[in-house]
Structure 1
Amino acid sequence: MLDIKEIMKILPHRFPFLLVDRVLEITPDKIRAVKNVSMNEPFFQGHFPGHPVMPGVLIVEALAQCAGIHTISTSGEDAPENMLTLFMGVDGVKFRKQVVPGDQLEMVVTIIRKKGKIVKAKGEAFVDGQLACEGELTAMMTVPE
Structure 2
Amino acid sequence: MTSREILSKLPYSKPFLFVDELTVIFENGAEGTFTFDENLDFYKGHFKNNPITPGVILIETMAQIGLVCLGIYLGKDNNNTETKFAFTSSEIEFLKPVFPNEKVTVISEKVYYRFGKLKCKVSMRNSKNEEVCSGTISGMIL
Structure 2 runs not aligned, ≥5 long: none
Letter in 2 for 1:84: K
Q: Is 1:10–1:73's contact at 8 Å kept on the other side of the alignment?
A: no
2:22 aligned partner: 23
TM-score, scaled to structure 2: 0.90
1:75-90 equivalent positions in 2, closer than 5 A: 75=75, 76-80=77-81, 82-90=82-90
Tell me how far apart the structure 2 counterparts of residues 38 and 59 of structure 1 sit (CA, whole Å): 13
How far the C-alpha of 1:6 sits from its partner, in A, is 5.2
Q: Per the alignment, in what secondary structure is the counterpart of residue 78 of structure 2?
A: coil
**Superposed structure 1 runs of 4+ greater than 6 Å apart:** none
CA RMSD of aligned residues (A): 1.5
Give the drift of 1:88. Answer: 0.6
**Contact conserved, 2:87 with 2:140, CA < 8 A, in 1?**
yes
> Does 2:43 correspond to 1:59?
no
Q: 1:139 maps to which residue?
A: 139
- Where do 5+ consecutive residues of structure 1 fail to align? none
Q: Deviations over 1:83-116 (max 9, x none)?
A: 112111112x100110001211100011101111
